[in-house]
Amino acid sequence: MPFTHQLPDWPRLTWDAAALAAPLAAVRHAQGRHLGTMSALGFGAGDEAELESLTVELVRSWAIEGEALDASEVRSSIARRLGLDVGGLDAASMSKPSRRVDGLVQMLLDVTHACFQPLTSERLFGWHAALFPTGRSGIESITVGNWRTADSDPMQVLSGAIGRETVHFEAPAAARVADEMSCFLRWFEARGRVGSPQLDAPDLDPVLRAGLAHLWFITVHPFDDGNGRIARAIADLALARADGTPQRFYSLSAQIEAERRDYYDQLERAQRGTCDVTEWLAWFIGCLGRAIERAGGTLERVRRASRVWSAVAKLELNDRQRQLIERLLGDFEGNLTSSKAAKLTKCSPDTALRDLKQLVAWGVLERGEAGGRSTAYRLVVLEEG
């Protein structure tokens, strides 16, 4: 069965508009309702919600590719670049992230906060250079900040043992990439026609444009590596335009990671046999709807955090205590002990224990029943709200 880019109709993608009408209307309604709720949070809480969503988006987009980023580093870098006061700690006082993470965050903010700027090849090259600042993917040297070359042909997605691989996808030859991307970018900015009544429609819904752009870009596979991450970034840019705001309050990548196997199965099916992409768009719309629904948890965490910081506002907390509260409100896993507190705040165990005892005395933390070094502490202001 041929790949879609090998068909004579490529890239004139088609879909059943009637089949997608109801789920598309539902997800657009959910977008509007969620954005309305977020805009009512107020300035500080809204910033906190965006900070969490952006952190999750970057960390989870890399996790889809099996790579781990330090969430606290990412969060710190985003807060610095946005000039946010996070949990009472101004951005200048937070731990300094690595240059690599800073570069990735700079790319993310260019995707979102500059979403209304035109998408160009030079902009994509900049994103790609941010993903691979050393010019390497793992130990392999790759072409960075430019389209892949014939040296990478055939560009294939494989699985299985060496010698018995299964080819899940083979991208267009490198010689086609420049023309393919020129066509894609003109379409994305509605500056060129593809020859398809549906794709060329001036009123093409921006959510459909996001789903189509994701699939189209990843099918062309224009870079040596990082195509999935950049495809998701392009979809995020299109969704930011759909929302009418550069602020992001939900994470598509987090939902894609949760449905990772489905994601790859849907991509593989959409890239073979036909230019009809109804099934892919139905899945993309559904995934977006589930991402928005999932973001309700972000809203509740932001509200709880707001209550906590309001409750401790009159206490003379030091920076270490603020860091501990911030971590307990965020991605902290397991029990908080004095030894963990010492590692988190980079102080001696005795200093950490004094900080914890003071927080207990203020009623911010509650001490568990176990004694000695295994004593655990938890936030009680969260429950008291």
Q: Which residues are annotated as a binding site for ATP?
A: 225-232, 263-264
Q: Single out the residue of 322, 302, 307 nearest to residue 45, CA to CA.
A: 302
221 is annotated as an active-site residue: yes
Tokens matching residue 118: 């035109």
Contact in structure between 356 and 325 (CB atoms under 8 Å): no
Tokens matching residue 218: 């990843």
Give me the catalytic one of 5, 34, 128, 221.
Answer: 221
> Per DSSP, which regions of the chain are E strands?
85-86, 89-90, 136-137, 140-141, 156-159, 166-170, 365-367, 377-379
SS3 of residue 232 by DSSP:
helix
Contact in structure between 367 and 340 (CB atoms under 8 Å): no
List all residues 6 or more positions away from 56 whose beta carbon is below 8 Å from its beta carbon.
251, 253, 254, 298
Q: Cα(269)–Cα(271) distance, rounded to whole angstroms?
A: 5
Whether the ω angle into residue 11 lies within 30 degrees of 0, i.e. cis, is yes
How far the first Cα of the chain sits from its last, in Å, is 59
List all residues 6 or more positions away from 171 whose beta carbon is below 8 Å from its beta carbon.
5, 154, 155, 156, 219, 220, 221
Element (H, E) at 335: none
Rounded to whole angstroms, what are the CA distances from 142 to 94, 99, 128, 134?
Answer: 34, 20, 11, 10
Q: Cα(77)–Cα(130) distance, rounded to whole angstroms?
A: 14
Fill in the DSSP letter of residue 357. H
Using DSSP bridges, classify how beta strands 89-90 and 85-86 pair: parallel, antiparallel or unpaired: antiparallel
Output phi, psi for 136, to 5 deg.
-135, 150
Q: Give residue 36's identity as a one-letter amino acid code.
A: G
| Active site positions, annotated | 221
